[in-house]
Each structure stands twice: as structure tokens, then as C-alpha cells.
Amino acid sequence: MVTLTVEKGSVPTPEQGTAALRNLGLRVVAAVLQVTATVAVLQVLPPTIAGVYFKGFVIAYGLAALLRGKYDLFVAQHFVGPQDPTRSTRELVRGLGIRVLIRSAIACAVLLVITADLDVMDVYLRPYLQTYLPFVLAVPFATLALFLSSVLRVVNRTLSSTLVATYSINIMILAVANSASGSEETLLLMLSWAFFAGTVLAAGVGVLITRNVFPAKTVTGVQTAPIAWPEVYAASGRNGLTGIALACLQWGPLCLLALLGSEIQIAHYAVVTRTAQVVDFLIPAAILVPQGFLLHSRLANAMRTGHGKLAVDLIVSLATTTACVAAVAIATPWLIDLYGIDYTRLTDLFVFLFATQWLNGVGRPAIRHLAANWNFPLIRRILFVSMMAAIAASLVGIPTYGAFGAAISVCLGALFLNGQAIQAAFAGCGARGCA
């Protein structure tokens, strides 16, 4: 989430512009890694086997979202905006990370027992434990990596967040896919363990980056108070159901597609989703590059009132998101040629998932405004309404339309989420004024 709320009178410097260009370059590398890793998988695995592989992604990332949801909300509530100098942010992130890791390790053990029992109860063409073992073992590391990525994103370190969430996993997939050989089953197994190795590496990178972002030293003359962990756990626990709603909004339609759809449908959906995610990599850089060179002071001068500041943020997000979506959409026919003939005729999927990225990009300033002006009942209502719309549409659409039904559901959830967020943000500015 990028915010454009800058101090009036701030003047861009050449260093800011250079840093913005470097940021853009690293994001372009992330996008290239995402696309090339997808191409590498599709070149070695046919659609039915690729669907099994991407179903493993759903297991790992879906469970990770469920396990970290309430902590993501806690971080959004307490880390957006000015930091309390008497609180050791580094110790707080470290403690929450350890707790997330322990919770996900327990869930991993339970899931291993369940998959083993499923194999004992019935004989399947593809044993659950053997097929999904790397993805199940990856759950603790994926949960920790994505939690730390979320922390970095909340404090506006969006490039660092992208590095943690995508670089390591895509690099490992590329390395294995381009060097492995053997039968389809062998390649599936090797790529699955590459995903596991990527999550371990991502968790390690996340720890190193967050240690650098949140240094151990404190503000001179300010005594750091010890963290009241019972209060922290109680506060995050109050977000439990809302965290589940957030996870279901993000991953519910895809999990239902994994249960109700075929492997080919999952492969189609995963390929289009990974392509659409490139938009999310580019949006922050598309905002920061012109801001770093030319538009920083102009935007600051335009932000005189709460409504004006929010409106400018939304207008800039609208323009940059539209440009990024258009750029990726123009490149999509070339990307489809790289993916292969099995992934043609997916225009409807691309339209709805690109629309989802567009909605999420346009609504980012409103989402961040809600986090900065925390109103838990309002946020809970927005998430529950959006989640119910997405899940209900999935239950109706997926059995009939498959992957297309899942794409419609995700887009509908994004529409409800961002529409409500924008309305609530302007209403909040009118009632209290914006910070």
C-alpha cells in the first residue's frame, strides 16, 4: 500500500529520483521472474500435472493466509502512521513472527496426519501425502515469509515486501525447472521441493530485511517500555474472526475451485493470476517515479483538506493503476504465446482478474486510510460483506463455470471491498477530518 500523503513544501531531490528508478528496476526484475518461472513450469508440466502443482500452492498459501490473518490486521492497526517511540517495534515484529511460526508448525503437523489418514482410508491414483508433502512442510515458512512481507508493506516498504514474497520462490522454481529432467512425476516432485526451498529462503530473507528495517537502537533519551505480550495476544485475538474473513476473501474462491474444479481449470486460473499479479508489482513504482522527480511538491500543494488529500491519492492511483493494467494487458498476447497453446482462449479470465487488480490498485489509498483511522466495527463489516459476496458467488458460479466462476467471484469481492472502503474513507473525512 503506497500513500502519497507528503508534507507540504517537500521538494524532490536527484537522490529521490534515482532511488525511485532503482525501485522500478527491481520491480521489473520481480515481474520478469514471475513470468519466466510460470513459463518454466508450463514447459515441463502438462496442464493436468501443472494443476496438481498449483493446487499445492493453494494449500500452502491459503492455509498461510488463514493462520496469519488476525496478525495482519493487528499490524495494520498499530503500524500504519507514526510509530510510538516507547515501543520496540523490532521486538514486537520478532515476537509475532515467532508466534506465527509456532502456530503454523502445529497446523502443518495436523495437516500431515490428515493427509496420511486419507491415504490409509482409500487408495488414490496420486497419494495425498507423497504429492503434497513439500507444500505442507512449506506452510510454516510461507506463513512467516508472507507475514513479514505484510509488515513491510504496511510500513510502506513495498519493494522489500515484493522481494520477500516473490524473489526467492520464483528463483528456486526457475533454477530447478531449467535444470531438471525425467518423467512428469519426477519433475512434479522436484518442482514441489523447489517451492519448499523457496519458502525457506523467503522466510530467511524476510527476517534479514525486517531486522534492517526495524533496528535495535532506540530514540535518544526515550526509554523503551517492555512489551505487554498478554495485551498484544488479546488484541490480536479479538481480530480472529475478522482475520478468517480476510483470508476467505483472498483465498476462498481459489480454495473452492481446488475442491470443485478440475486440475486443468486450476492451471488456467493460476497462470492468469500469476500474470495479473505483475500489475501489483509495478503500481507502487509507477507512483513513486514521477513523485520522486516532478510531482511531489505539486501533489503536496494540492492536499490542503482531508477530502482533497484523499481525492488526489485516489486520482493518482486511478491513473497509475490504469496505466499498469493497460501495459500488462498489451503484453499479454506475447505472454500467452510463451505459455503455450493449452493456455489460449482465456480472455474472459484475463478480463476479470485484470479488473480485480485494477479495483485493488484504485482502492489502495482508501484501504490505507481505514487502517490509519482504525474503526474495527467498520473494518469488520466491510470484510465480512465482501467475503460473503465472494464466497456466495463462488458456490454458485464455480460448479457451473469453473475457473471463470472463480474469477467473477474474486472480482466481485474486490468490488465490494474497495467500493465500501472508498465510501467509508470519504465519510470518515467528512465526520472527523483526515489525519
Residue-wise pLDDT for 55-82, tens only, equals: 999 989 999 999 999 999 988 887 765 5
d(CA 338, CA 358): 24
DSSP structural state of residue 166: I
3-class secondary structure, 13: coil
**317 confidence band (pLDDT: 50, 70, 90):** confident
Judge whether residue 302 has pLDDT over 60: no
H or E element in which residue 374 lies? none
Closest by CA to 29, choosing from 278, 274, 287, is: 278
CA 285 – CA 324 distance, rounded (Å): 10
DSSP letters, 199-251, are HHHHHHHHHHHHHHHS-S---TT-PPBPP-HHHHHHHHHTTHHHHHHHHHHHH
What's the rounded mean pLDDT across residues 218-230? 65
In terms of Cα–Cα distance, which of 314, 37, 57 is closest to 178?
37
DSSP per-residue letters across 60-105: HHHHHHHHHHHHHHHHHHHHSSS--TTB-HHHHHHHHHHHHHHHHH
Is 370 a residue whose pLDDT tops 70?
yes
Indicate whether 52 pLDDT > 80. Answer: yes
Per the model's pLDDT, the better-predicted residue between 305 and 228 turns out to be 228
Integer CA distances (angstroms), 19 to 26, 159, 289, 350, 353, in order = 11, 11, 9, 32, 31
* pLDDT band of 223, cuts 50, 70, 90: low
Quote the pTM value: 0.86
Exposure of 3 in the CB half-sphere (CA atoms within 13 A): 21
Cα separation, 410 vs 353, in Å, equals 8
pLDDT averaged over every residue in the chain: 83
Which helix (H) or strand (E) element contains residue 106? Answer: helix 89-121
Q: Where does residue 143 rank: exposed (0-12), middle (13-18), buried (19+ CB within 10 A)?
A: buried
- The mean pLDDT of 260-286, rounded to a whole number, is 89
Mean pLDDT, residues 180-197: 90
